[in-house]
Amino acid sequence: MSELVPGGNLPLPGGALTLRVSGPFDVSALVTDDSGTVRGDADFVFYNQPAAPGARLSGETLTVDPAALRAGASRVTVVVSPAEPGTPLGRLPAPTLRVTGAGGRLLARFTPPRPERETVLLLAEIYRRGTAWKLRALGQGYADGLAGIARDFGIEVSEDADAGARSEPAPAPAPAPAPAGMHSSGMRGSGTGGPVADGFLGLVNSARAAVGSAPVALDARLTAAARAHAATMAARGRLGSEGADGLSVHQRVTAGGYAYLTIGEHLVSGPRDPAEFVEYCLSGERTRRTVQDPAFTEAGVACVPDGRSGTLYWTALWARPLTPAGLTRTAAEVLALTNAERAAAGLPPLVEDPLLTRAAQAHSADMVARAFYSHTAPDGSEPWHRAAAAGSARRTIGENIACGQRSPAEVVQGWMDSPGHRANILKPAFTHMGVGFAGGGSAGTYWTQLFGA
């Protein structure tokens, strides 16, 4: 079973899947093709229309059989909204998605960062890559309810009639008069030259100074990546961390030659100028935390209009560049935090092992380069093979991997919250460890712990 983070993905076995979200939520789904839009209202599965080819909703459970989807369908997006219309999701427990396969085997679980004022959430998507199907965790919030999502996916919604979406009051988006409402993933960013960047940078650095964070500087490579990603969102008329070309926002950053140690972004539609954009980014706890995060030293921002509606699509990228010293410091922090957990359990500390570090670093880099997330590499190699190839003669090997976490503290906490990963960290027999980290890929960051005895 995989514990997913936003942006994390998982290959799926064949056959039907069961997706369940328990609690005070309504579950719905949108069936789309490669364009990201539905063919018609029949592709919107919700409480008043609980079935479509290959997808059926029963209470809090959605069953999806990818092989039975309508012709041309390549993606099913799972949506959750409050059972009580108009209730901000921040007032409810964070929704947890459980995905099971044949025989009831639990395949994955995903709990997104807790939303705030959003009233609907794109929770996950099942999508086709070649002939295989995969699951990707999303966690993207909307402030204007199911009607906003329906419009973004190409469904016509009447303001005075129920046309496939539950009628619910739409909270005023912030800032108020944005043309198409505010939608935000809530975590992460980039920059661009000219008036947009100039207005953005002053406002951002003022907000950072208010909490004692050093100013960020604009970087041309982050700016170019932000502009490319904003353009692909505007062309599709919808927000997303991945464009129609299959590239994630993080892959655009690394493809432009920017290697990072940590990264964040804001993806937003609607603000008409830098002041409205920054105001929106500062309006929520999670989005404000990204703007003011002291870990970031560089940024880039861009906005591109949707040629049909004129709505501006914004991408802001925030990063700290990768340096050898920074990578060494990050690995040392992971080791120190791991040893703190072992000390609390009465266990001796692990010793940094250069050969295990070499193998761990190679695996993190390989996951980014070959776009996979697994203990088994595409060539079939396993952790013990990688350790031996690096020259290690240790007889017992264990491995933890993770993706999407932005700091050593976040990744170690995530491992400790997972029983299998925790068992490796607290295994008495292990005496040495290596740490690997690489930025890029669909999830943004890839971490490896390689243990040895």
Token reading at 376? 């088994």
- pLDDT at res. 175: 28
- pLDDT at res. 434: 97
Reply yes or no on whether the pLDDT at 258 is more than 60. yes
Lowest mean pLDDT among 90-104, 172-186, 232-246, 407-421: 172-186
Lowest mean pLDDT among 177-181, 247-251, 400-404: 177-181
Q: How far apart are the first and last CA of the chain?
A: 26
Rounded mean pLDDT of 181-189?
Answer: 31
Token reading at 42? 């029949």
Degrees to nearest 5, angle at CA 160 with 158 and 165? 55
Degrees to nearest 5, angle at CA 428 with 425 and 429? 105
- pLDDT at res. 245: 82
Mean of all residue pLDDT scores within the chain: 84
Rounded mean pLDDT of 199-220?
Answer: 94
What does each C-alpha distance from 214 to 20, 84, 282 come to in angstroms? 43, 42, 17
Rounded mean pLDDT of 29-44?
Answer: 80
Query: Above pLDDT 90, what percent of the chain?
Result: 55
Reply yes or no on whether the pLDDT at 217 is more than 90. yes
Tell me the pLDDT tens digit for each residue of 335-380: 999 999 999 999 999 999 999 999 999 999 999 999 888 999 999 9
- pLDDT at res. 97: 93
Q: Which of 90, 34, 112, 27 is nearest to 64 (CA)?
A: 27
Lowest mean pLDDT among 207-211, 246-250, 411-415: 246-250
Residue type, 167: S
Q: Which of 201, 393, 390, 211 is nearest to 293 (CA)?
A: 211
Burial-class residue 160 by CB neighbours within 10 Å (0-12, 13-18, 19+): exposed
Highest mean pLDDT pick, 53-57, 147-151, 165-169: 53-57
- pLDDT at res. 307: 87
Reply yes or no on whether the pLDDT at 181 is more than 90. no
Tell me the pLDDT tens digit for each residue of 282-327: 988 888 999 999 999 999 999 999 988 889 999 999 999 999 999 9
- pLDDT at res. 382: 92
Lowest mean pLDDT among 180-189, 219-228, 341-350: 180-189
d(CA 273, CA 278): 9
More confident residue, 129 or 40: 129
- pLDDT at res. 169: 24
- pLDDT at res. 41: 73
pLDDT-derived band of residue 171, with 50, 70 and 90 as boundaries?
A: very low
